[in-house]
Amino acid sequence: MNEPELRELVPAVIGVLVRRGADFAAAEDAVQDALVEAVRVSADEAPRDPKGWLITVAWRKFLDAARAEASRRDRELRADSEPAPGPGEAVDDTLQLYFLCAHPSLTPSSAVALTLRAVGGLTTRQIAQAYLVPEATMAQRISRAKRTVSGVRLNQPGDVATVLRVLYLVFNEGYSGDVDLAAEAIRLTRQLAALTKHEEVAGLLALMLLHHARRTARTTEDGRLVPLAEQDRRLWNTRLIAEGVDVLQAALARDRLGEFQAQAAIAALHADAPAAEETDWVQIVEWYDELVRLTGNPVARLNRAVAVGEADGARSGLAALAELDPALPRYNAVAAYLHERDGDLATAARLYAEAARQATSFQEHEHLMRQALRLNARLRG
């Protein structure tokens, strides 16, 4: 059977097992076991109703596990009333499963891992490879997460904002191993958007699409970062940009602005500019004002300082930056950029070097060091 199609069915099948009486952890394990069996089915043996087949096999896997433990003898009573194989049940618990996997009692890393496993249908090995950790470590993380939420009922109200934060964490991990987490986050957010008309879900989907559209232009062939202003815009995916703009416009039309919609509007303005010098920085500042009003987020204020520097000049950007805490991540990188724009190359070179020392990734460190070396070379020349 087709693995991507099976993964689409995972959350609904888990929901069915939970409604039949399985606890979440046992249901999730049973569905993973059923998926292993499904990939062994040959094309000529593939069932006409994959969801119904997966429910039947997963339920039997659950019952086998339940019978193996004396502490679960009460569940054996349900074995006698096993539903007959047939079409999959019409009720879809996928949305509730999103809420469960992003439960506030979980740490962000545990919520991400559980979402990828239970909603995304990824194996523990795939998730471990994506996060560059040993499979045993990821297995323990997922097991602890499942134990944490095992007593949470699926019919309890969920927090969409928490789910979106988890999905955005997945998206920002990008790509490693054999799983493209950015693409997986987009797939899961599309799925969530189909389940709910929440405008912030649409806002996040638009933001992901607009960012993902620039992916191939972000790095050179040898892995170096390419700043937005220097990217070859011919490499941007115009289909994804058009879709992202359409999704965003539909969300904004509901007149219930949220932070992801505001971020997507900023990304759309960047995508709309044929060249960096044609960017509508005045509008971008206005959207950052909305984002700061909505969130008060210091990182949004930091990015706003850059936009102010582009719209009103470097001195104005530095004045906006002066209102912020210098301990903020990327503060020195922004200060270096604005000082360079203002003509103070010595200060900019020093700040680029300091920002490089504080960088959390090799790519960012290398990029910032190149900026420092470039300015120092100009100063010596």
Distance between CA atoms of residues 101 and 112, nearest Å: 8
Per-residue pLDDT tens, the chain, 381 aa: give them: 677 778 888 888 888 888 888 888 888 888 888 888 887 877 777 788 888 888 998 898 888 887 776 444 444 444 444 444 444 444 456 788 888 888 888 888 899 999 999 888 888 988 888 888 899 999 999 999 998 888 776 555 568 888 999 999 889 886 655 678 899 899 999 989 998 889 999 999 999 999 999 999 999 988 899 999 999 999 999 999 999 999 999 999 999 999 999 999 999 999 999 999 999 999 999 999 999 999 999 999 999 999 999 999 999 999 999 999 999 999 999 999 999 999 999 999 999 999 999 998 899 999 999 999 999 999 997
For 60, half-sphere exposure in the C-beta direction (CA atoms, 13 angstrom radius) is 10
The continuous run of DSSP H or E covering 205 comes out as: helix 199-212
Distance between CA atoms of residues 79 and 318, nearest Å: 69
Q: Are 365 and 356 in contact (CB under 8 A)?
A: yes
The values of phi and psi at residue 334, to 5°, are -65, -45
**Model pLDDT, residue 158:** 67
pLDDT digits (tens, 9 = 90+) for 52-81: 888 998 898 888 887 776 444 444 444 444
Distance between CA atoms of residues 265 and 371, nearest Å: 29
Distance between CA atoms of residues 301 and 43, nearest Å: 55
Place of tokens 């706003």: 304
**Model pLDDT, residue 353:** 97
Q: What is the pTM of this model?
A: 0.82
Query: b/e for 306-334, b at 16 or more Cβ within 10 A?
Result: bbbbbbeebebbbebbeebeeeeebbbbb
How would you class 354 by CB atoms within 10 Å of its CB: exposed for 0-12, middle for 13-18, buried for 19 or more?
A: middle
Distance between CA atoms of residues 154 and 18, nearest Å: 8
Distance between CA atoms of residues 193 and 95, nearest Å: 10
**Model pLDDT, residue 21:** 80
| Partners of 225 in the β-ladder | 219
Contacts of 130 (CB under 8 A, 6+ apart): 116, 122, 173, 176, 177, 179, 181
Q: Are 157 and 143 in contact (CB under 8 A)?
A: no
**Model pLDDT, residue 89:** 45
The values of phi and psi at residue 332, to 5°, are -65, -35
| Partners of 175 in the β-ladder | 180
DSSP string, 68-106: T-GGGHHHHGGGGGPPPS-SPPS---HHHHHHHHT-TTS
**Model pLDDT, residue 81:** 43
Contacts of 273 (CB under 8 A, 6+ apart): 279, 280
DSSP, collapsed to helix, strand or coil, labels residue 324 as coil
pLDDT digits (tens, 9 = 90+) for 4-43: 778 888 888 888 888 888 888 888 888 888 888 887 877 7
Distances (CA, A) of 363 to 218, 223, 228: 11, 8, 15
DSSP, collapsed to helix, strand or coil, labels residue 343 as coil
